Structure 1
Amino acid sequence: MTSEAKNLSHTVTEFILLGFRCRWEIQQFLFSIFFVMYILTLFGNMAIVCAVPWDHRLHTLMYILLGNFSFLEICYVNSDVPNMLVNFFSKTKTISFSQCLLQLYFFFSLGTTECLFLSVMAYDPFLAICHLLYYLTVMTNKFCGSLVIFCWVYGFLWFLIPVILVTQLPFCGSNVIDDFLCDLGPLLDLASACVPIPRTALICGAMSSLLIFATFFYIIGSYTLVLRDVMQVPSAAGQKKAFSTCSSQLAVVFLFCGSVKITYVSPGSGQGEGMQKFTTFFYSVSTPFSTP
């Protein structure tokens, strides 16, 4: 399959997603595991999405954000996992050029939206614990709705420029992507085999890094201030309640940032590439189980 895709003399119209390269028996085993995780992820998040609007006691900022976060996870796993599951049993493993770019856009836009939701979810305990007197004044229904709309709109606008730049790149050589989804790095590698693309790579890398590090340091800074104030609470029960809330949210943050670091920051080759692909998928289907 790889030899047939090499040295194409015309513009690429489709890509080949190699996915997990292993024996057929192992692929069947992986398909079974990932399919079960995928179904559990969908049902778990759908239960949260349905519970939040039905129960009026859950109409607070944190639960509204949690409901949107669960809906985001449903969209997130559906952006790449169904196609990956189909490719386990596909002989060609092809995806059209337009479908590949759409998958790239939705995958990264939903990831950007997730970063913003995690930042807003860190703001809620910060305001509730560090500035309790202002909480009810600031956290109105209108403000909560504005935060949710901001996360969705800004999330889908942030990565629009990099995707537009990718659509302008020439793909005239190999069309093989050693991944289970149309990721930015492999696409830039394929395009760079035709012409130098330092400007596009710089813009894409700068926007991704700015988003990841800005939200990560904001979240860590917020929870640091929260934990500082929690340690000053005289009641042991109050400390335990605050710690339980923060720990579950921090678990999601570190799972997300750790997966991003392993996949996009750490250098890898050989076995490392397989681990990068597994980590990307594992995060996309396992985050909901760590959600508070």
Structure 2
Amino acid sequence: MGFMRRRRTVPFRTNGELDAMAAAGAVVGRTLVAVRDAAKPGASTLDLDRVAEESIRSAGAVPSFLGYHGFTGSICASRNNVVVHGIPRADDVLAEGDLLSIDCGAILDGWHGDSAWTFAVGAITPAEQELNGATEKSLSAGIAAMLPGNRLTDVSHAIENGTHAAGRAHGRSYGIVDGYGGHGIGREMHMDPFLANEGAPGKGPRLVAGSVLAIEPMLTLGTDQTTVLEDGWTVITDDGTKASHWEHTVAVTPDGPRILTLRP
């Protein structure tokens, strides 16, 4: 029956396991702050990657991205029209006005934390500020739906509603990046189920106390269509518009959602 029961619910952890995941998540949160502090014009994304790896390893953790299917970085550094999975490079140099997404994962005592944060390098346009705020709001809406008894796509629907609400408030329509989304997470970084960032509510496995998902909306100022570059990783918007990506690892608890990747 274990297999049947697991498929009907989003995989769940004990309180002690959630605490262990939160310890891994805290390493990720501290690392994201360290990377943001280093993200100045003239710094390369490879410079940021070195900051991240040092931060993770100094905490006794291991970067979960490094070597993942051959990925060469400890972070994904995705600038401007790059949505996700940007490879840290010495020739990818930050400039004033960049919108930079940093995605980071760490493994501590066998448990994974996974989080992403998009922020400005210097000053960005009001539209880009609103895009970034909309993505953060969409994440918050998804987190708020992490309640016992909800279904997987209730979270998807909440993220979509958050996006549309922000779009109405800003007088524009944001692109919800097609084909990418969140995921289960635990002793592996990417686990079932896949969490779409839009869709009808009330479908999929049920959330129970201890269920954990990595929730990660990705929005653009234009299209929802993307292309993967020849490097096999870098995902860019098809219309060249800028993108934003926010992610937290979140657990369902009887007392409400618990963010496991808090930043200091």
TM-score range for the pair, normalised by the shorter chain length: under 0.3
With normalisation by structure 2, the TM-score equals 0.24
Over alpha carbons, which structure has the higher Rg?
A: 1
More strand by share: 2
Choose between structure 1 and 2: higher helix proportion. 1
TM-score by length of 1: 0.22
